[in-house]
Structure 1
């Protein structure tokens, strides 16, 4: 019997050897090699682009349109996402934003496209299907963000330090489940790093009691630039999108909503804009529009009321120098003193740390980070860092309002919005329709903006009659389209810019990762004159007016004389293509200078104002007003008084 098995086993071994050997011979000697995937010829860089409609042309379009299909109130992530979705289906859309795009919560996120590992933990231990559904939805949309905006979104490994051996399998299994629920959209497989490997990657971490680190992967992105890109993409698809347009009144006829009365905040001119449907996408300010909707005349209440839909909570983030974190890997603190999760992430060449969770009774127009909240974040970070964490190292800090929501129909008036903790609330979204026809979308998070927009437009198509054209409208297109700047983009785009324009790597990476395939438009301006190569801090310097700069062959100044890669060319591009109206629009949102380094941003205000004044023909009063507003806004972004004298930049 044993001889029989030996014979069978021997024959099987020979057969296996023959198959493997034959396979090797075929693959190495017979099968023709695959042509190398070398890009010897790319599509030409986009050096020209048709100028988009100006603000004046968009305002004229508002006047000339008797009735839009949809008015979207709110220019944050959800509002601009809804405008893109509706416009690409064939609806005539008008979006109105009181301030600038992403001027509120949408520019103050943790900059992560993620499913939420903490939600997954709650889903498992609390047996919560709602939490699990949110994780799966967000993981799905994470993949969509990386695909539709490849220049703005990228994959980021995140370490979870483990200090007890029994926790290593606990956290690793959690990371693998996170991978598993992502399905085919999983970014990369989770893994475990030893203490030695962790120390090599993150020498700034204290490894005294470290056992290992579990590493999982999520997405990171530039939120305000993503928001501006959505607004531009909506305009490219025919939408009328306007910032600095304040809704003063909801227009009603026979108790039904027929449009809005809005004011151009720059000129004071008012417009009656009519539409079949009106969408409330104002995020944390959703209650204000709902209060107007309850008034028979559509006017805001004379006395402010406590929010009923939004449960406001302030989240503070700080930005620190790059040496506080590995360049290409983040850190997650799974158990802070107050039970929250805290992130320490590389972002735009700096380190982003946050966030806190402070319940509020009302929603402020411009929330300001409290010193105690900044200190809380620094104390948490000190648990992991081998050198002293200094308050003077904080480059910038800001506070954003989370739009956590509940159905306003279930909340009596006068209910205290701070009652209870916000940690237990699911970060899902809610769509409600009022008796007048106002459709409100609120809640959710940045990662799920696209799905929120899709559900909103699906509801519009289902519940509103767009002159009998509903069946002619296209299905949702936002899973397919690539946002402005993502077309023909590749991850080595910065190398192409270096070859073409002979620019430093830091500038090439900054432009390619924030403007994608539109970077060459900025570099065409950059190469036009020495003046355009200057850092924005020097734009107002008396010795460097355009005529003088262009005439001087000895002027070798470039952006390298400034610590950040923001040039006059980028400002001129933003003026032409991205609808900036104030210095803060450029310094805080089209670029992220105020969020990355508020001190440097303050020094750049005068230069930005000088160029914008020439572009818009501002009088002295307007110039002084906007300069003061920009410096006050940036001056409240957590700058340490020990390191920088904010007072010297205050306009009297």
Structure 2
């Protein structure tokens, strides 16, 4: 059994775990990051792809006089601004419209969204504004006529790629990163506190990880690790499934998204531009953990019903991909498991055995979650951590302005390296969106014969597939086609067409062609 010794062991390589690992490396800790599946292979790759403060949480804060919800919105808006600045290649501003056909509705939304803008402070990315019926019809030409609305700005991003870059940045900073590596047990010191973890790969190989502190960042699976460490620990997690569909029809050709603020049962729906198609989501439905990643027929029918209602010209929408993800809802300590008092705030818990668990929260606020977790780590260690050192996110430069300038220069250099054809501009955009400033060194290493785009949906090439396998910890077709690029998330049939090639390259480069997802025994988004 291989033996390792680190300051900090992080279990779970989703958004929160990867952020904890990166921030810990920046503070001089030796770190190991383990995941039972792929990097970001759970909830973190199945979001609505929005970096946002949460308009509905703002409304809830005022309806319930809940200052905690207001603070959550403020924190998330600041973080939205951070990611738009630091990772402009995979995050961008997106304007959304709340439709209304009444003057009162216009005034209500403008007042609320004006406050939303103000809460962002210096990180404000745009001003909310009224939008006329004619302007809305021009932006969303298939929308049912007769409505104006209020437009506001949030961010849209590639969740799986940002998660991957956080984990790989931590790795380049010195962290040990393992995937397909499940924690199966813990060891304790004489005083009963956790001193080590035992992990096991899918081939049965075990490793021993002695650690000063162990952090549980496993999202909806947090209770399983908590109870492995302490069988008496009371459950804290509830799971709510968010369902998403991708439609072949581009309902948002003007680049604006649509927010349906209230459905018949009070849920909120988004219809967003997504790789030239339309992303529709999301429903919130309580579910068991093992049902968190599977959309139901009822949920799909629910979403399509609202598509037809708002876009009556689209009587038969074509679904090209579908996915679901389980949101980790945290119930307050001491409440019953069926408590309705579930919130999107996060909490850092310390069990008597020493396990630190970061639970709840949302994608946009993964950095504050990491900071709070490291405060608990420092308390466990009994000493302050070092000041954070600069560690640029992989693909970015020292400053946001330098990143943008170098991306423009790199685009011209990529043009000279890529095949001259109808997809070249699309391929340049794709490469930079996925790899940032690493796009040029990556493609330069690729044999020119392997740079040809393989799909008109997302123009990945065989060189990228090899890069994903050799340098990005891909070990299955789902890893490559769902998370390293988003092809399966956009068009599952097109991803299945390329699946044999990906499996062939996996077999040739690693000898372990794994066609199944760790969550589902099929290629899946």
> What interval of TM-score do these two structures reach, taking the shorter chain for normalisation?
over 0.9
User: Given the superposition, is the C-alpha separation of residues 397 and 262 from structure 1 closer, same or farther in structure 2, using an over 3 Å criterion?
Assistant: same
Partner of 2:182: 246
Partner of 2:284: 357
Q: Distance in 1 between matches of 2:519 and 2:17?
A: 28
Query: Is 1:496–2:384 an aligned residue pair?
Result: no
Q: Cα offset for 1:383?
A: 2.2
Partner of 1:12: none
Q: Which has the higher strand share?
A: 2
Q: Distance in 1 between matches of 2:207 and 2:3?
A: 11
Counterpart selection for 2:461 from 553, 567, 576: 567
Partner of 2:380: 463
Contact 1:149/1:482 (<8 A) preserved = no
Counterpart selection for 1:396 from 295, 301, 321: 321
TM-score (norm: length of structure 1): 0.75
Counterparts of 1:191-590 in structure 2 under 5 Å? 191-207=129-145, 209-210=146-147, 212-254=148-190, 255-265=192-202, 267-295=203-231, 308-321=235-248, 323-360=250-287, 362-364=288-290, 367-391=293-317, 393-408=318-333, 410-411=334-335, 417=337, 419=338, 421=340, 425-465=342-382, 470-471=383-384, 473-476=385-388, 481-487=391-397, 488-490=402-404, 492=408, 495-501=411-417, 504-526=424-446, 528-533=447-452, 535=454, 559=455, 562-590=456-484
Contact 2:477/2:499 (<8 A) preserved = yes
Q: Distance in 1 between matches of 2:523 and 2:181?
A: 25
User: Given the superposition, is the C-alpha separation of residues 498 and 70 from structure 1 closer, same or farther in structure 2, using an over 3 Å criterion?
Assistant: closer
Deviations, residues 455-481 of structure 1 (Å, cap 9, x unaligned):
10122113323xxxx45x42245xx64
Partner of 2:504: 610
User: Given the superposition, is the C-alpha separation of residues 271 and 81 from structure 1 closer, same or farther in structure 2, using an over 3 Å criterion?
Assistant: same
Deviations, residues 25-77 of structure 1 (Å, cap 9, x unaligned):
xxxxxxxxxxxxxxxxxxxxxxxxxxxxxxxxxxxxx9464x21010000100
Contact 2:98/2:261 (<8 A) preserved = yes
Q: Cα offset for 1:525?
A: 4.3
Q: Distance in 1 between matches of 2:226 and 2:372?
A: 20
Deviations, residues 319-368 of structure 1 (Å, cap 9, x unaligned):
112522235211100011220111111123332111011112x3117621
Contact 1:73/1:279 (<8 A) preserved = yes
Q: Distance in 1 between matches of 2:61 and 2:519?
A: 44
User: Given the superposition, is the C-alpha separation of residues 93 and 489 from structure 1 closer, same or farther in structure 2, using an over 3 Å criterion?
Assistant: same
Partner of 1:94: 32
TM-score (norm: length of structure 2): 0.93
Counterpart selection for 1:185 from 104, 109, 123: 123
**SS of structure 2 residue aligned to 1:565:** coil
Q: Cα offset for 1:252?
A: 1.2
Contact 1:280/1:286 (<8 A) preserved = yes
RMSD: 2.2
Contact 2:443/2:463 (<8 A) preserved = yes
Deviations, residues 381-427 of structure 1 (Å, cap 9, x unaligned):
22221412425x1111111001011244x14xxx5x4x355xx6321
**Structure 1 unaligned spans of 5+:** 1-61, 297-304, 536-558, 638-652
Q: Distance in 2 between matches of 1:171 and 1:628?
A: 45
**Structure 2 unaligned spans of 5+:** none
User: Given the superposition, is the C-alpha separation of residues 384 and 525 from structure 1 closer, same or farther in structure 2, using an over 3 Å criterion?
Assistant: farther
Number of equivalent positions: 514
Contact 1:368/1:636 (<8 A) preserved = no
Q: Cα offset for 1:453?
A: 0.3
Contact 1:330/1:346 (<8 A) preserved = yes
Greater radius of gyration (CA): 1
Partner of 2:101: 163
User: Given the superposition, is the C-alpha separation of residues 610 and 436 from structure 1 closer, same or farther in structure 2, using an over 3 Å criterion?
Assistant: same
Q: Distance in 2 between matches of 1:235 and 1:294?
A: 30
Deviations, residues 150-179 of structure 1 (Å, cap 9, x unaligned):
211111111111121221111111111100
User: Given the superposition, is the C-alpha separation of residues 247 and 519 from structure 1 closer, same or farther in structure 2, using an over 3 Å criterion?
Assistant: same
User: Given the superposition, is the C-alpha separation of residues 608 and 338 from structure 1 closer, same or farther in structure 2, using an over 3 Å criterion?
Assistant: same
